[in-house]
């Protein structure tokens, strides 16, 4: 009996010790597991940042962006990539910061049914500044052009990065002028266009926009003169020639000679991509992630101009947007802001001889009733630019 009692006491004591040990260990074990959970990535990243381990913090956030389901609203990848962009910006890694901000922006458009779910203004400003910091004014211009449509009430804020650089050279002066025209500041825009030509008489697109302004004020003769001036300095200024054809059609003039000039311009392209029939688009970018990815061969190093004839159908007042990459390298985004076909030019300098692949990939999509935001690519022509071409 005594042995039985002793055994019972030992067992009871063991159970009591085990119980209190479990009570003591369980919270610590739960905390240990939670601390290593993807859902605790914020604390993990903050701890890494406190140690100035920026790469460690970025690795934690990137792992969370891949592992946490997107339907958890406050843990969406757009927020995570935005944070990565700010970390890289604090480090002074401008290019990496820009790429992270661009990834964040692209993720915002995944929610196509959310009308107001757009990249926030602060993120857009960071992207514009990032483009400028990486010496890509064309990217900054396209970003600002889209931003003005995203946030028409904040148009001054969206164009401010260009405005504070307006005296930085003829190209930025021209781009700023076009943004002013888009935001209904035509008088100031016209003045800046003329100043850009004073600085660089051979600058492409300035004469075109002066012609467009003249056309809007019904000064047809002035418009024709400016469009011809554009063609004199820009042999690939297809938009100017298309406007001349349009004006000739309105005046019921003979357009045969203009059509021949357009054919002559097209013959200068060393590579072109055309639809199977004139009435059909070359490719339609139906939704986010849809892409067109052709290849070409270049015999020698050159500066290239990709003239992309495209149009877009709007939804919620916004048009289609696609990313242009060459050999996997981001060049810029292109905002297709018209239902009428226009040429959108992408310039790439210093392309080496060899085999190359470029990609057009849709970034935004939306549907509402019968309206659907799509981008239609009608043709793409690639031209070699002169070494000193602006």
DSSP string of 49-72? HHTT-HHHHHHHHHHHHHHS-TTS
Residue range 301-307: average pLDDT?
96
User: Hunting for tokens 């890509």 — which residue is that?
Assistant: 136
Beta carbons within 10 angstroms of residue 142's beta carbon? 22
* Lowest-confidence pick of 1-10, 23-32, 226-235: 23-32
In 3-state terms, what secondary structure has residue 342?
A: strand
390 confidence band (pLDDT: 50, 70, 90): low
Q: E strands, the chain, where?
A: 271-273, 283-285, 291-292, 295-298, 302-313, 320-326, 329-336, 342-351, 354-362, 367-368, 371-372, 374-385
Beta carbons within 10 angstroms of residue 240's beta carbon? 28
Residue 349 pLDDT > 60 = yes
Residue 24 pLDDT > 60 = no
Check residue 358 and give its pLDDT: 98
In 3-state terms, what secondary structure has residue 204?
A: coil
Pick among 3.40.50.2300, 3.40.190.10, 2.60.120.260, 3.30.530.20: CATH of 271-390: 2.60.120.260
The CATH classification number of 40-108 equals 1.25.40.10
User: Hunting for tokens 């990032």 — which residue is that?
Assistant: 130
109 confidence band (pLDDT: 50, 70, 90): confident
What distance in Å separates the CA atoms of residue 373 and residue 312, rounded to the nearest whole number? Answer: 7
Residue 81 pLDDT > 70 = yes
Check residue 73 and give its pLDDT: 56
Residue 5 pLDDT > 60 = no
pTM: 0.86
Phi-psi sector, 218: left (phi>0), alpha (psi -120 to 50), beta:
left
Residue range 5-23: average pLDDT?
61
Residue 270 pLDDT > 80 = yes
pLDDT, tens only, 158-191 = 999 999 998 889 999 999 999 999 999 999 999 9
Break the chain into its structural domains and give their ranges: 2-35, 40-108, 271-390
In 3-state terms, what secondary structure has residue 323?
A: strand
């Amino acid at each position: 009996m005594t042995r039985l009692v002793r055994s019972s006491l030992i067992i009871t004591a063991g159970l009591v010790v085990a119980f209190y040990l479990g009570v003591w260990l369980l919270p610590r074990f739960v905390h240990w597991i939670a601390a290593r959970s993807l859902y605790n990535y914020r604390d993990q990243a903050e701890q890494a940042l406190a140690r100035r381990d920026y790469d460690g913090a970025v690795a934690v956030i990137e792992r969370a962006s891949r592992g946490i389901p997107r339907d958890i609203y406050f843990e969406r990848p757009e927020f995570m990539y935005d944070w990565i962009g700010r970390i890289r910006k604090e480090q002074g890694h401008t290019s990496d910061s820009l790429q992270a901000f661009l990834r964040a922006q692209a993720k915002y458009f995944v929610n196509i049914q959310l009308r107001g779910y757009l990249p926030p203004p602060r993120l857009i400003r960071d992207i514009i500044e990032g483009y400028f910091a990486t010496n890509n004014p064309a990217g900054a211009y396209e970003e600002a052009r889209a931003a003005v449509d995203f946030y028409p009430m904040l148009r001054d804020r969206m164009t401010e990065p260009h405005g504070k650089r307006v005296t930085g050279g003829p190209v930025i002066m021209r781009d700023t002028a076009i943004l002013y025209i888009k935001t209904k500041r035509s008088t100031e825009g016209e003045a800046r266009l003329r100043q850009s030509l004073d600085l660089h008489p051979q600058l492409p697109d300035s004469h075109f926009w002066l012609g467009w302004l003249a056309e809007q004020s019904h000064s047809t003769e002035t418009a024709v003169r400016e469009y011809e001036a554009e063609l004199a300095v820009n042999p690939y200024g297809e938009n100017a020639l298309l406007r001349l054809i349009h004006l000739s059609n309105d005046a019921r003039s003979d357009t045969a000679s203009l059509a021949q000039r357009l054919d002559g311009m097209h013959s200068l392209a060393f590579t072109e991509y055309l639809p199977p029939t004139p009435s059909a688009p070359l490719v339609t970018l139906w939704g986010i992630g849809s892409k067109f990815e052709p290849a070409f061969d270049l015999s020698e190093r050159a500066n290239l101009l990709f003239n992309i004839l495209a149009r877009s159908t709007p939804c919620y007042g916004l048009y289609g947007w696609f990313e242009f990459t060459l050999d996997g390298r981001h060049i810029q985004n292109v905002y297709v802001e018209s239902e009428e076909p226009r040429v959108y030019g992408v310039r790439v300098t210093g392309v080496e001889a060899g085999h190359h692949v470029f990609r057009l990939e849709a970034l935004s999509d939306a549907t509402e009733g019968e309206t659907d935001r799509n981008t239609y690519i009608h043709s793409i022509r690639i031209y070699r630019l002169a070494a000193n071409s602006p």
